Structure 1
Amino acid sequence: MKIGYACINLSLKPTFRTCRVATVEKEGIEKIKELTLQNLELTKAIIQWNIEHNILFYRISSGVVVLATHPVNTWDWKNDPDVQAVCAEIKILKEEHGLRLSVHPGQYSVLNSPREDVVERTIDDLTYHAELLELVGGSDMILHLGGKYGDRQSALERLVRNTQQLPPYVKEKLRFENDDKVFNLEDVLFVANQTEVPACFDIHHHFCNPSEEALEVLLEEVWETWRGKGRPKVHISSGRTHSTDRSHHDYIMPDDFKRLISYVGDTEVDVMVEAKKKNLAVLELMQTFEITPD
Structure 2
Amino acid sequence: MLIRFGYVAIAFGIKEGSPNKTVTVKKLSKLENAEVKLDLLRKILRQNLETTRRILLYNQAHNIHLYRLTSKLVPLATHPEAEGWDYCSEFKEEFADLGRLARESHCRLSAHPDHFTLLNSPKSDVLAASLRELKYHDSIFRALGYPPSPQLVLHAGGMYKNKKQSLDRFCREFAALPDTIRQRIIIENDDKVYTAADILSLCKKLGAPLVLDVHHHNCLNNGEELSELWSEIVSTWGDVRPKIHISSPKSEKDRRSHAELINVKSLLPFLSAASKLDRDFDVMIEAKGKDRALFTLLDELERTPGIKRVEEAAIII
Q: Could you tell me the TM-score, scaled by structure 2's length?
A: 0.87
What is the DSSP-based 3-state SS (H/G/I as helix, E as strand, rest coil) of the residue aligned with 1:2? strand
Q: What per-residue deviation string (whole Å, max 9, x for no partner) do you get for residues 231-253 of structure 1?
A: 01100111123498112121111
- Partner SS for 2:80: coil
Name the CA distance, whole Å, in 2 between partners of 1:69 and 1:247.
27
Indicate conservation of the 8 Å contact 1:142/1:177, yes or no.
yes
Task: Give the C-alpha shift of residue 107 in structure 1.
Answer: 1.2
Q: What displacement does 1:203 show?
A: 0.6
- Partner of residue 186, structure 2: 175
Instruction: Assess if the C-alpha contact under 8 Å between 1:105 and 1:129 holds in 2.
Output: yes
Does the CA-based 8 Å contact 1:143-1:174 persist in structure 2? yes
The corresponding residue for 1:276 is 288
Q: 1:96 is matched with which residue?
A: 104
Task: Verify the 8 A CA contact 1:208 1:244 in the aligned structure 2.
Answer: no
User: 1:55 aligns to what?
Assistant: 64
Counterpart of 1:28 in structure 2 is 37
Q: Separation in 2 of the partners of 1:211 and 1:166?
A: 31
Given candidates 147, 170, 188, the residue that maps to 2:158 is 147
Q: Using a 3 Å threshold, how does the CA distance of structure 1 residues 263 and 137 change in structure 2: closer, same or farther?
A: farther
Alignment match, 1:206: 217
Tell me the amino acid that sits aligned with residue 112 of structure 1: N
Q: Once the 2 structures are TM-superposed, how far is the Cα of residue 23 of structure 1 from its aligned partner?
A: 3.4
Q: By how many angstroms is 1:142 displaced?
A: 0.5
CA distance in 2, matches of 1:261, 1:133: 31
Q: How far is the alpha carbon of 1:212 from its aligned partner?
A: 4.0
Q: In 1, are the aligned partners of 2:5 and 2:294 still within 8 Å (CA)? A: yes
For 1:66, the equivalent position in structure 2 comes to 75
Alpha-carbon deviation of 1:99?
A: 0.7
CA contact (8 A) 1:159 1:191 kept: no
For residue 114 of structure 1, what is the aligned residue in structure 2?
A: 122
Query: Identity over the aligned pairs, expressed in percent?
Result: 34
The CA deviation string for residues 95-137 of structure 1, in whole angstroms up to 9 with x for no partner, is 2111101101111111100011211110110111122123225
Which runs of 5 or more structure 2 residues have no equivalent in the other structure? 303-308
Q: Which amino acid aligns with 2:266?
A: D
Q: Is the 8 A contact 1:207 1:244 kept in 2?
A: no
| Distance (whole Å) between structure 2 residues aligned to residue 258 and residue 243 of structure 1 | 23
In structure 1, how many angstroms separate the alpha carbons of the residues matched to 2:269 and 2:145?
32
CA distance in 1, matches of 2:68, 2:230: 23
**1:227-284 CA distance string (max 9 Å, x none):** 03x1011001111234981121211112122122113221211000011111001112
Q: Which residue of 2 aligns with 1:226?
A: 237
Q: Flag structure 1 segments of 5+ consecutive residues without an equivalent.
A: none
Q: Could you tell me which of 62, 84, 89 is aligned with 1:79? A: 89
**Residues 204 and 244 in structure 1, CA contact (< 8 A), matched pair in contact too:** no
Q: Of 137, 149, 154, which aligns to 1:129?
A: 137
- Amino acid paired to 2:225: A
Q: State the superposition RMSD in angstroms.
A: 1.8
Alignment of 1:283-294 (within 5 A): 283-290=295-302, 291=309, 292=311, 293=314
Return the alpha-carbon distance in structure 1 between the equivalents of residues 221 and 268 of structure 2. 19
Q: Which moved more, 1:84-93 or 1:154-163?
A: 84-93
Q: How many residues align?
A: 291
With 20-29 and 39-48 compared, the bigger mean Cα shift is at: 20-29
Match of 2:250 in 1: 240
Q: Which runs of 4+ in 1 moved over 4 A?
A: none
